[in-house]
Structure 1
C-alpha cells in the first residue's frame, strides 16, 4: 500500500496547489475591473473672467476681456462671445474687434450679426482645443453713453448673459479720464441681482469682483459721469420691428373677407390673382429693404406697407385658387356631358 499512497500523493498535492493558487488569484484578477472605474466627464467652465472697461474722452468705450476657459475631454474649436448691439430699439456700434490667446490656442476672430447680438467666434474650425486655454477679446463700443440733463450715464453688461457654463471668479475694472464718484455693479440676472464686491477704489479706477456665477449670470456696470466730462454723441435708435397701425390691420382684415367673397362669385379674370400677388410681394420687399439695406437683416421693421402687401398676396392667392377650382369643375361637367 505504501506504493499506492506514494503514487496518489504527488497528484493530490499538485491539485491542491493549483486549487489554492486559483482561489487566491481570482480576486487579484477580478478586482482591477471594479477598483479603477472610468473617470467622470470633465465639465466645461470659466475659472476666471477679467474685464477692463476704459471710458475714453471721445465718447468711446474700450473693452478688454481676458477669459480663461476649461474645455472638456472632447474639446471644442474655440469660444463664442455674444455682445449685444441692440437692446429693444437702442443701437450700439461694436467695432475694431481683436482677439489673441496667451496659451497658444487658435484665436482667429470671425464676427457676424445674429438676432440682436454681434457674435464673435474665436478659434479655428479645423482644430480642436482641450484643457485650459486663455483668450483675450478687445473691441470698441460707440453710442454706449446716454445723456441726461445733469449727467451722462453708461449701463453695460460686462460679461454677457449668454454663457451656459459657470464662472468661478469674475473681476471688472472701470477706468475713466475723470474721477469716478458714482459707479455701481450688480451681479446675477435681471430677476435676481445682488451687489458686487467693491474690491478697490482709486480716483480714476474702480474694481469689482464676484465669485460663483452660475450659467446665464453676469455683472452689470452703471457709471454716472459729470455733464461735459467726456464727449457724448447722441444715442442711435432703430425703428421698432412692428410699426403697423390700424390702417394696415384694416387692409389685412379686408383681405381675409375677400377670400370668403371670392369663393361665392364667378371665377376671376385670368392673371388677376397673379398680378395682385406680384404687387403685394413688391410692397413687402420695399417695406423691408429700406431698413435691411442700411443696418442688416435683423433691422427689419414691419409697417403698413408690409401689411398691405400681405393683404394683396392673400387676395391674389385666393383668386388663383378660385379660378383653378372653377376650371376643374367646368372640365368635370363638360366631360360628363360628353
Structure 2
C-alpha cells in the first residue's frame, strides 16, 4: 500500500447519474433520489472512507434500494485496478441500522438495503458508510484520486448531487480538482467546485 507524497493532489470526480431521468411510469422509477450527498475522507495510507446520505422519495411501496459500486476498473492506460471495498454500516439518518445484504457479482459490490418482509414508502433517508483501498494513483509529481460519486447503475432520477473531499493530515501544497457530469467517460464540466484548505466541495 502506498503512502501519499502530498506535494500536489489532483481530484477527478464524476457525477454520472445526476443527468439520468425517467418518467414515473417507466421501469425502475419506483423512487426518486431527491438528494445525493457524499463526504469523502482521503486517509494518509491512500485509502478513503465515504459517507453517502441519500434522501429518497418512493412513489409506490418498495422493500428498499440497491446501491452498486464497482471495485475493479480499467484506468486510462488500460491497467486493471482493483479497489477493495468494505461496507462499514448502513443507517437511516437517525442512527438506526437498516437491514442490508452485501454481495459481489463480477466487478461490482451490490448493497441491497431493505427488509424483504416489509415495505417503505414516502420520504426515506439512507446513510451508507464504506471504505475503499488502493484508489489513489501515484505519479512522480503528484497523487491522484478519480472517483465516480453517484455511480452509473441507478434507474431513477437524481435531482441534486454534491460531494466534499477532504485530505487527512497536513495541508497539501497544491490541491487541483476537476468534476464531470454525464455517462462514464464524459468530459462535460457543468458542475462547480470550491477549495478551502484540504477540502474541495463539488456541486
Q: Which TM class, normalised by the smaller chain length? A: 0.7 to 0.9
Structure number with bigger Rg = 1
- Whether the 8 Å CA contact 2:180–2:191 is kept in 1: the answer is no
Tell me the equivalent position of 1:187.
Answer: 181
Instruction: Figure out how many residues of one structure are paired with residues of the other and give that number.
Output: 169
TM-score scaled by length of structure 2: 0.76
Paired residues for 1:152-231 under 5 Å: 152-177=143-168, 178-179=171-172, 181-190=175-184, 192-209=186-203
CA distance in 1, matches of 2:53, 2:59: 20
- Compute the displacement of 1:193 (Å): 3.8
More strand by share: 2
Q: Which runs of 4+ in 1 moved over 6 A?
A: 103-106
Tell me the equivalent position of 2:35.
Answer: 48
The structure 1 residue matched to 2:132, chosen from 131, 134, 141, is: 141
Q: Does 1:107 align with 2:93?
A: no
- Whether the 8 Å CA contact 1:66–1:136 is kept in 2: the answer is yes
Paired residues for 1:1-338 under 5 Å: 44-73=31-60, 75-88=61-74, 89-102=80-93, 107-177=98-168, 178-179=171-172, 181-190=175-184, 192-209=186-203
Q: Whose RCO is larger (CA < 8 A, sep 6+)?
A: 2
Cα RMSD over matched residues? 2.2
Go from structure 1 to structure 2 and tell me whether the alpha carbon gap of 1:104 and 1:126 turns closer, same or farther (over 3 Å shift): farther
Tell me the equivalent position of 1:330.
Answer: none
For residues 237-294 of structure 1, the C-alpha deviation after alignment (integer angstroms, 9 at most, x for no partner) is xxxxxxxxxxxxxxxxxxxxxxxxxxxxxxxxxxxxxxxxxxxxxxxxxxxxxxxxxx
Secondary structure in 1 aligned to 2:121?
coil
- Compute the displacement of 1:198 (Å): 2.4
- Whether the 8 Å CA contact 2:85–2:133 is kept in 1: the answer is yes
- Compute the displacement of 1:102 (Å): 2.4
Runs of 5+ unmatched residues, structure 1: 1-39, 210-338
